[in-house]
Amino acid sequence: MIRVGLTGGIGAGKSTVATTFIDRGAYHVDADRIAREVVEPGTPGLDRLVDAFGSEILGPDGALDRPALAARAFVDDESRALLNSITHPLIGARTQELTDAAPADAIILHDVPLLVEGHMAPFYHLVAVVHTDADVRLRRLVDLRGMDAEDARARITAQATDEQRREVADIWLDNSGTPEELATQARTVWEERLIPLRDNVAAGVPAALPTQVRDYDPDWAVLGRRVVARVWALLGANASAVEHVGPTSVVGGRAAPVIDVEATVADLGVADSVADSLTAGGFPRAESSGPGRLHISADADRPVRVRLRAVGV
């Protein structure tokens, strides 16, 4: 089982990618659908929203009037934070219920518009971002969805920037062309990356690491931060430090494009106790003649070595 987070700005075209993956067997967990479920009439979530934003957010039938809520919740950072503090925990709990029900061999697709804003990226094997320029998204929202232009601008502005999305994106899907072209990109990702990763994780098999030396690539630092965050998420309190080390961490150097991460644990007993978690998280155990314990990424497109060292060794 692997978990893939799918995100992108409002109007970016995530539904095309989601449909392409679902047609190929992805187990879909839709954050928007869950967000509607947890605030349906009669739910504690809707009661809390009314307490926070007033009964004016309800329609004549007692259901949530989303435009009315948006008019109150997207006016400033404090209001958005209040909205998120109510809905995010409810969405998270329901998301976990659905994830726990997935088949053991699933590619779980979490369709999460606010994945970046919610700091959820480290908890996925991979994050896929659908990108479309903001001006194109604005036209789509106004022309195709009938949204008010000012409301659409406010929602776009309230979401993560392109730079923030690039920071977490393992897969970047460019939707500047046609829906058919975007679907073709998604099919290639499914066949050439998601299926091999799922199978390697299931078998506990590391991917082969590249050996050809290259000039320094600034993206190595970005990937290093992403992998460090992922390893921290897997190890939690079992590690006292997780760092990007080795040749790819040295600005201006030459190296094989492998991200080396070193995690410090109390002793090798702890290292052995987290081996299954690292393997399930995409970093199977590998043989090593060096100190500590070695894990290597199951994703051939993200070459990573994770070495666990005991304190003082």
More confidently predicted of 312 and 103: 103
Q: What share of the chain is helix, strand, coil (3-state, %, to 5)?
A: 50, 20, 35
Tokens of 126: 């991979």
pLDDT band, residue 313 (cuts 50/70/90): low
Q: What is the pLDDT of residues 169-215, one digit of tens each?
A: 999 999 988 999 999 999 999 999 999 999 999 999 999 999 999 99
User: What is the pLDDT, as a whole number, of residue 154?
Assistant: 77
CB burial of residue 202 (10 Å; 0-12, 13-18, 19+): middle
Q: What is the pLDDT of residues 41-97, one digit of tens each?
A: 999 999 999 999 999 999 999 999 998 998 899 888 899 899 989 998 998 899 899
Query: What mean pLDDT is predicted for residues 275-286?
Result: 97
User: What is the pLDDT, as a whole number, of residue 247?
Assistant: 96
C-alpha to C-alpha distance for 37 and 70, rounded to whole angstroms: 17
Residue type, 284: P
> Cβ contacts of residue 103 below 8 Å, gap of 6+?
1, 27
How does the average pLDDT of the chain come out, rounded?
92
User: What is the pLDDT, as a whole number, of residue 4?
Assistant: 98
Spatial CA neighbour of 237 closest among 204, 201, 206, 277: 277
Report angle CA 290, 294, 300 to the nearest 5 degrees: 125
More confidently predicted of 300 and 117: 300
- Torsion angles phi and psi, residue 173, rounded to 5: -105, 115
Are 49 and 101 a contacting pair, CB within 8 Å? no
CB burial of residue 177 (10 Å; 0-12, 13-18, 19+): exposed
pLDDT band, residue 283 (cuts 50/70/90): very high
E strand or H helix at 31: helix 31-37
Are 49 and 86 a contacting pair, CB within 8 Å? yes
Tokens of 183: 């679907």
Residue type, 229: A
Question: Can you list the domains of the chain with their CATH numbers?
Answer: 2-201 (3.40.50.300), 214-310 (3.30.460.10)
Tokens of 85: 């503090």
Is pLDDT of 217 > 70?
yes
> Cβ contacts of residue 70 below 8 Å, gap of 6+?
151, 155
Are 152 and 6 a contacting pair, CB within 8 Å? no
Query: What mean pLDDT is predicted for residues 268-281?
Result: 97
C-alpha to C-alpha distance for 269 and 26, rounded to whole angstroms: 36
Q: What is the pLDDT of residues 147-169, one digit of tens each?
A: 878 877 877 777 888 899 999 99
Compute the chain's Rg from CA coordinates: 21
C-alpha to C-alpha distance for 286 and 276, rounded to whole angstroms: 12
Query: What mean pLDDT is predicted for residues 260-268?
Result: 97
The SS3 of residue 207 is coil
Q: How many residues are present in the chain?
A: 313
Is pLDDT of 136 > 90?
no
